[in-house]
Structure 1
Amino acid sequence: MKLDFVKASPSKNTTVFITNYVVPAHYAKIASRIMDDEHLHAEQAGFLVQPQTEDAVLRLEMSGGEFCGNAVLSAAAYCSYKGLTKDRTFLLETSGSDFPLECEVVVKSPTHFVAKAEMPPPLSTTEIVIDLNGRSITGNVVKLDGITHFITDYWPTEDQFNQLIEAVTNKIEDKAIGIIPYKQLKESEYEIWPFVYVTETGSRFFEQACGSGSLALGVHLSKENQNQTLQIHQPGGIVHVETGGKNYISTDVRFTCEGFVYLDM
């Protein structure tokens, strides 16, 4: 199988898009293959398809049907990169959202963009306590449509993340689960160490950046939908979060390569 791809880097959260039509039932298998070291070595994969509504420029479908904030930013940047729209502001559809999301893209160079996108509102926020080797860890569960994040101020060691995923998935289910430990650096600036598990593909990744996890932290820190702007530092860069009546995230997106990928299917 020969497929067209483009690889994006939203704050180094490497994202591969397949631009050919693929039967959705094959998404998970194809994504698992193209993300591996032998092929395109990416943290996540999505499929770009025709939108279902006339107002949207493009539709993004993630491999596990989950929602991914950084992939939305990358898909928005792709619309400018490929000249699909001349507008700076436009609508984009995505898995994990029941309505098109407003996007804004600023061109920095032919392959470098600053993308900003509206995020779906959280479905719920609840506090849970999990057991980690006899230690009680308190966190806030922020459920978005397509991904749920466990937000905690407990800063784990690297080898504890799989244990955290197991403990959290014993209490909640979703298409994707994120573990988002955080600590405050200064006023309106925080650091996170994102780790994401996708149920359909079974993938577990320390992500260089996590857009929806950054949003979830912003939701957790906001009170009564108050307006706030945060800088969320992560291994690959900074994701900016705006919460209030509507929620937005933004970051730099670079396109690093594109071409063909060959799979034995």
Structure 2
Amino acid sequence: MKRHVKFIKFSPTQNMTILVDGQHLKDDYQQIALRLMAYDHVYAEQVGFIEKPKQSNADGNLRMAGNEFCGNACMSLAVFIAHQKGLRENNESHLLIETSGTDDLIRCRVKKVANNYRCRISMPLPKKVEPRNIEYKNTYLEAYNVQYEDFFHLVLKVKRINAEIKETAENIAQSMGEIYPDILIGILLYEEESHYLAPLIYIPKLNSMVWERGCGSGTASIGAYLAFLRKGKVSVRIKQPGGSIHVFGEHENKTLKSLQIEGTVNIVAQGEAFITL
């Protein structure tokens, strides 16, 4: 059976994101997402579904295909809503977004700049940030676990990102996926001196493993990690393959108080896709 699916495609720091607009059965979300993400189809790194808000004060509702949280997808939805409302150049729109992966409403500030949008959003706070030794090939790798309600990121501080360490990250992700098959797993290779991040995102239930060109949630986790180490405020531009995302964090009285990210989002396509389920 061939299905017509309305979609919008975004480029938040080249982390190509598709949002599906229209009602579909939740049981079909994963199949729709896998087809749209395929190289021979619309092609993207992740897919979210626009739903009707449940809370009266929410401007939009986003559900990711793996029911995870995604910062870049939240920014994309905020930009789309602002675009639909006719946001003019150099003006701002302030929005609240419901999303999978957190019970918190995500605060979004969207500003139109020339032909794209600058978006700054609040991010869910991790439940804890703690050092963790990872055993791999009879050696221990120093890492930090950034644990959220429904997903976790593992920060691996490295001197240089190369093919060998990327292969190691993929193997670690797969091993962890066997232990945690129902949650998103992020392996964040981080060069601290240059503030360069290579983010690997693995969703076991979708069998999706992607080296993202720009990861909003991973950027927030780097901010949480740095704020934890410094025990204070951080404001850092994190370089990634697709560009830079700015993270702002505040750690006070042994507690992480706030996390925000800011990046550029472009709307690159809108149309109808054809999918056989």
TM bin, normalised by shorter chain, reads: over 0.9
- The residue number in structure 2 matching 1:236 is 242
| Secondary structure at 1:41 match in 2 | coil
- The residue number in structure 2 matching 1:20 is 22
Whether contact under 8 Å (1:67, 1:145) holds in the other structure is no
- The residue number in structure 2 matching 1:264 is 276
Pair 175,44 (structure 1): closer, same or farther in 2 beyond 3 Å: same
Instruction: Tell me which protein shows more helix as a share of its residues.
Output: 2
Pair 76,48 (structure 1): closer, same or farther in 2 beyond 3 Å: same
Alignment of 1:56-95 (within 5 A): 56-83=58-85, 88-95=93-100
Q: CA RMSD in A?
A: 1.9
Q: Which amino acid aligns with 1:226?
A: G
**2 CA distance for matches of 1:246 and 1:84?**
30
**1 CA distance for matches of 2:183 and 2:247?**
23
C-alpha offsets along residues 199-218 of structure 1, whole Å, 9 cap, x if unaligned? 22110000001111111111
- The residue number in structure 2 matching 1:106 is 111
1:159 Cα deviation (Å)?
Answer: 2.6
Pair 151,66 (structure 1): closer, same or farther in 2 beyond 3 Å: same
Q: Equivalent of 1:34, from 18, 33, 36?
A: 36
**2 CA distance for matches of 1:257 and 1:148?**
31
1:237 Cα deviation (Å)?
Answer: 0.7
Task: Give the length in aligned residue pairs.
Answer: 261
Q: Which amino acid aligns with 2:221?
A: A
**1 CA distance for matches of 2:55 and 2:126?**
23
- The residue number in structure 2 matching 1:201 is 206
1:68 Cα deviation (Å)?
Answer: 0.7
1:226 Cα deviation (Å)?
Answer: 2.2
| Segment drifting more, 139-148 vs 113-122 | 139-148
Pair 219,83 (structure 1): closer, same or farther in 2 beyond 3 Å: same
**2 CA distance for matches of 1:171 and 1:183?**
27
Report runs of 4+ in structure 1 exceeding 4 Å deviation: 84-87, 170-174
Identity level (%): 26
Whether contact under 8 Å (1:88, 1:104) holds in the other structure is yes
**2 CA distance for matches of 1:129 and 1:239?**
28
Q: Does 1:220 align with 2:220?
A: no
**1 CA distance for matches of 2:87 and 2:64?**
22
Q: Which amino acid aligns with 2:224?
A: V
| Segment drifting more, 200-209 vs 170-179 | 170-179
- The residue number in structure 2 matching 1:253 is 265
- The residue number in structure 2 matching 1:138 is 142
Pair 250,174 (structure 1): closer, same or farther in 2 beyond 3 Å: farther
- The residue number in structure 1 matching 2:169 is 161
TM-score of the aligned structures, taking structure 1 as reference length: 0.92
1:125 Cα deviation (Å)?
Answer: 2.0
Provide structure 1 residue ranges, at least 5 long, that are not aligned to the other structure. none
**1 CA distance for matches of 2:25 and 2:70?**
20
